[in-house]
Amino acid sequence: MKSKRMTKSIRTALILLLCLAAVLQQTPVFANKYAEYESVALVDTSNGTVGYYEPINLMIGGEDIFSDAPGIIVNGRALVPISAILTELGIEYTWTQATREISFSYGGKSVVMQIDNTYATVDGVKTLLPDGVAPRVMNYLSVSGDEIARTYVPVKFISGVLNLSATWIDSTRTVAVNKKEQTLTGAYLDYTKTYPEIRLKVTGEVDATSFVISGADVGGQDKVVVDLQNTKVDISGADAYWTESGGVWTYDIYDGIFGLDKVDIEQTGTMPYTTRVTLYQDERRGHDISYDAKTGEMVIRLINTVNDVSVEKIYSTDAVVIETSENPMVQTTLDGDKFYIDVIGSYLHIGDGMKTYMTVNEGKIESVTYEQKKDSYYAPFDDITRITINLTEAVTYDDLYLESDGTAIYVFVTPNPINNFEYVKLDQSTAKMSVRLFEAASYTPTYDAGSRTLSVTLPKSVTDLGDFVYDVDDNVIESFTVEETDRVYKLSAKLAENTVYTETGTATSVAFKFTNTKIRDSEYSDRLIVIDAGHGGKDPGAIGTKAEEKDLTLKAALYLEDVLVKQGFKVYMTRSTDDYVNLYDRASIANDLGADLFVSVHINAHTGATASGIEVLYANESMSSDKGLATLMQDALIDELGAVDRGISSRPRLVVLRETTMPSVLAELGFISNPDEQAKLMTDSYLQRAAEAMAESIMNFLDK
């Protein structure tokens, strides 16, 4: 609800709020930043007073929930904007200004709540709210200067009316709202379905969340982790395939069927109860989760998933990139100015499978649409994701080229841009390149040490390449260039610093292996750093006049990854695209991987445009752990960037710091709300320098 008119006392209170904020420089107005602060200031419209409240996190069904106003603690009771819960659950509600009432219906119940009234009406019955805490309208100023009002209600009452369970997690100031508590009583693998399934017998439907750990990227094992929220484990009656040790139930899959190695089930939380199901993979598999009401089972279905569709410039060519969880089965159809790509046996993990239209207007690509469909033509694998590339003109198959690297499909819209050329990164320090030949040919590689350029000239009669420039920039190779003349192709590879090459070609191929010796031989090669780019996806974080926090944190995190990889570290990103990862999952990923350090990258914000500077947050007070790393990182950032030194700050209740088991810090690299700092944060050079400073502090910490 937006307030169009305000009383003089409330307006005065808001002016007072701004004055206090300018002096104290500690009160954010950005909803998704609230959890990073100890207190927030809001105006109670009942009396016009400014109050400082402890902000809280809100989770529904295991998912972080974001609102343009924070949940708060009032007299020991958790209050949240009612719109945040009702909107998340898809419940329509009505606000009546004349009577200051909010009303909604759910599960056959009709509920009416009135501002400042300690009683609500449920199905016509007058009901006292928990501890007599009445709904209230709280005001604050948004980043745009709008006067915003939100109706706050006790979480305990709303969860009770909606027949949900609410649990307070004191260590991280989190309210977890879930379906009622249930028990997992059994589990089995069903190989008889079109898509193999892990079926979990439960006493009732529960909420489930999941995340994927690409452990093979850093020398571990790939895993799918499914958390059943508010669920106890009691599977003593499971079949003989399950064995129990130390509270973990394991199903070993000795033949590796369907790419699975084993499945583990264990109790990982008690407040609320959380049951974790971990699928250990020999090869990457996609999955989706559902509830089978007929059998009373939660179902983890092993099915390929389409996770993202984007348009990028690759090999100097416009390419549609379709990211999948596993090696896809693909069928294509060209119909004039439309190119259809069907990913067979897949589930669209974007927008609940709804048809989505994406405007492109690049080269010959006008737009791209994608949607979930069923098509009996592909039976039994009739679940498909259909991607349609709408072109500006009718084309032929000669204008299109499609390839897959196992977890992504690339569709190039140009005449055969990369036929017969392949480049594959094998690990952080090595890669290989090959060119397929139609027939044996003689050639002599030349290498210019000054420019670090390896060149090969090939007759056009022995292969088909075409002109292109491929900016790789992966710390092994900087770029590939192919120049085409009437008779020859000149292929040039610009090597990264410290990269050497060996020739591995055959009679029908030109091939080289590349190795960055500095990365391969680094003293840090066994050290794993998890980098967490703050916010992302549905959560923009702090919003400036020209940028959003989620975009700046991702760019800074990618720069930090690049610097650390060049030093030989193993690096894992909690996100490397514009996706959201739940806060508890970010910590779980780092813990599961056994990371040496965890670094979360953020951008600060404030109501006043003059607030500025850098600060690093930590939880553990030990100088050999969080506080020591925070001190070194703060000093390095200030020395490198010359920013205002806001010092280090203890934030022991932040989820990503509290729940990680290794030294962890959260770096606030500046204020997006300050025009001058926002401008700096939007420059690549500034974020690059920040990344180099953070990397320096990491190395100094580990070298101690």
SS3 551: helix
DSSP state of 129: P
Chain CA centroid to CA 590, Å: 14
437: three-class secondary structure by DSSP: coil
Strand ranges across the sheet with 125-128: 93-96, 101-106, 109-114, 119-122, 125-128
Amino acid at 421: F
Whether the upstream peptide bond of residue 417 has omega within 30° of 0, thus cis, is: no
561 is catalytic: no
E strands, 16-170, are 40-44, 49-53, 55-60, 63-64, 71-74, 77-81, 93-96, 101-106, 109-114, 119-122, 125-128, 136-141, 147-154, 165-169
In this structure, is the dihedral angle defined by the CA atoms of residues 558, 564, 568 and 569, taken in order, positive or negative?
negative
When computed from its CA atoms, the radius of gyration of the chain, rounded to whole angstroms, is 28
Catalytic residue among 36, 615, 668, 677: 668
Query: What is the distance between the alpha carbons of residues 143 and 545, in angstroms, rounded to a whole number?
Result: 9
Alpha carbon of residue 506 to chain centroid: 42
Pairing of strands 468-471, 477-484: antiparallel
d(CA 659, CA 57): 14
User: Is the separation of the CB atoms in 534 and 556 below 8 Å?
Assistant: no
Annotate 375-385 with b (16+ C-beta within 10 A) or e (fewer): eeebeeeebbb
Q: Are strands 317-324 and 119-122 parallel, antiparallel or unpaired?
A: unpaired
Question: Nearest to residue 121, comparing CAs of 131, 139, 109, 107?
Answer: 109
Distances (CA, A) of 19 to 16, 26, 34: 5, 12, 19
> Which residues on adjacent β-strands are paired with residue 324?
306
Closest CA to 648 of 616, 625, 621, 670: 616
CA distance 530 to 11: 46
584 close to 596: Cβ distance less than 8 angstroms: no
For the annotated catalytic residues, the residue numbers are 668
